[in-house]
């Protein structure tokens, strides 16, 4: 049975960031600082598919038919998840919402439960993203990833481990990266505007040149200023702070 977690006042951090912004890394780091779970709709769908339950079967049928999972099903997943007891202290949402419909449903749901949402938008110069991702190479044999700028192979184009010729993954081709960034803008900008107009606190955090720990500190400072966490930003590696 779902727990009654209304009127908790706990924070819900809604993460946005373009491909290559380090959003997944920040979700994991924030999870270490906060008491609530990191919720990814993609992970939840995979869990239901692996379990073979009704939601999983519906999702598989849609995917096999080449269709997107509809908002109604995704919203159902999130509604069920945020009603669970481990969300009482708040949570981190990653990959949701992806549409204006989902955003509207989410705000209503969080209001019903008494949560306080905040949007964290990781901002990175797109040319930097293109340069970094298009400079990745992978060994087709062992799967090792290299970066031509930060972690190059000892011999150009050759895997250090097995001597295989490195390849560029399809997702790392410049044309593909730029298309993904265009899709991100077209999908995300309207949702960010929706939250902004709804009065949801929004933190725009520069994530291009800073280390993951420095980005985390910027986020924590912003959350503190917004009154969403109780204490000042902790040093990296410190014990988790309490939440307001």
Over residues 37-93, the pLDDT tens digits come to 999 888 888 888 899 888 888 888 888 887 778 999 999 999 989 989 999 888 999
Instruction: Compute, in degrees rounded to 10, the torsion defined by CA atoms 56, 62, 68, 69.
Output: -30
Is the pLDDT at 239 greater than 70? The verdict is no
Catalytic residue among 23, 33, 81, 116: 23
Catalytic (active site) residue 58:
no
Q: What are the structural domain ranges in the chain?
A: 11-125+178-225
In angstroms, what is the C-alpha Rg of the chain?
20
66-75, 80-89, 123-132, 233-242: least confidently modelled range: 233-242
Query: What is the percent of the chain where pLDDT is above 90?
Result: 57
Matching residue, tokens 């202290």: 89
SS3 category, 232: coil
What CATH number does domain 11-125+178-225 carry, 2.40.40.20, 3.40.47.10, 1.10.150.20, 3.40.50.300? 3.40.50.300
Confidence of residue 150 (pLDDT cuts 50, 70, 90): confident
Q: Which residues have a Cβ under 8 Å from the Cβ of 88 and sit 6 or more positions away?
A: 3, 5, 8, 10, 36
Edge-first strand listing for the sheet containing 38-40 = 38-40, 91-94, 11-16, 116-123, 202-206
User: Which is catalytic among the residues 6, 46, 57, 169?
Assistant: 169
Which of 35, 79, 98, 178 is an active site residue?
98
23 carries an active-site annotation: yes
Higher pLDDT, 138 or 171: 138
Q: Residue 78 is encoded by which pair of tokens? A: 């999130």
31, 33, 132, 136: the active-site residue: 136
Q: Are 130 and 178 in contact (CB under 8 A)?
A: yes
Any catalytic annotation for residue 136? yes
pTM: 0.81
Q: What is the pLDDT of residue 235?
A: 47
Q: Can you tell me the distance from the alpha carbon of 200 to that of 203, in angstroms, rounded to the nearest whole number?
A: 10
pLDDT grade, residue 20 (50/70/90)?
Answer: confident
Instruction: Tell me the C-alpha to C-alpha distance, in Å, between residue 205 and each of 129, 158, 237.
Output: 15, 37, 21
Catalytic-role residue among 28, 128, 180, 244: 180
Residues 6+ positions from 78 with CB-CB distance below 8 Å: 39, 41, 93, 96, 102, 105, 106, 109
Residue 8: per-residue pLDDT:
62
Dist CA 139 CA 223 (whole Å): 41
- Residues 203, 118 contacting (CB under 8 angstroms): yes
């Amino acid at each position: 049975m779902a727990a009654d977690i209304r009127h908790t006042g706990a924070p819900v951090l809604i993460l946005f960031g373009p491909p290559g912004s380090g959003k997944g890394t920040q979700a994991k780091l924030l999870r270490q600082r906060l008491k609530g779970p990191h919720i990814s709709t993609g992970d939840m769908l995979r869990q239901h598919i692996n379990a073979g339950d009704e939601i999983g079967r519906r999702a598989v049928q849609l995917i096999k038919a080449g269709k997107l999972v509809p908002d109604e099903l995704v919203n159902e997943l999130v509604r069920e998840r945020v009603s669970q007891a481990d969300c009482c202290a708040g949570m981190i949402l990653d990959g949701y919402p992806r549409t204006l419909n989902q955003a509207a449903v989410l705000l209503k749901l969080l209001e019903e439960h008494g949560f306080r949402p905040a949007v964290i938008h990781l901002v990175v110069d797109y040319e930097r993203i293109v340069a970094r991702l298009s400079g990745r190479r992978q060994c087709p044999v062992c799967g090792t990833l290299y970066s031509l700028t930060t972690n190059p192979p000892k011999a150009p184009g050759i895997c250090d481990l097995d001597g295989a010729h490195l390849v560029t993954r399809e997702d790392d081709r410049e044309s593909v990266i730029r298309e993904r960034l265009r899709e991100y803008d077209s999908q995300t900008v309207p949702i960010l505007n929706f939250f902004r107009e709804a009065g949801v606190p929004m933190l725009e955090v520069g994530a291009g040149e800073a280390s993951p720990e420095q980005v985390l500190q910027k986020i924590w400072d912003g959350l503190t200023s917004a009154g969403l966490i109780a204490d000042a930003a902790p040093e990296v590696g410190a014990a988790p702070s309490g939440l307001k």
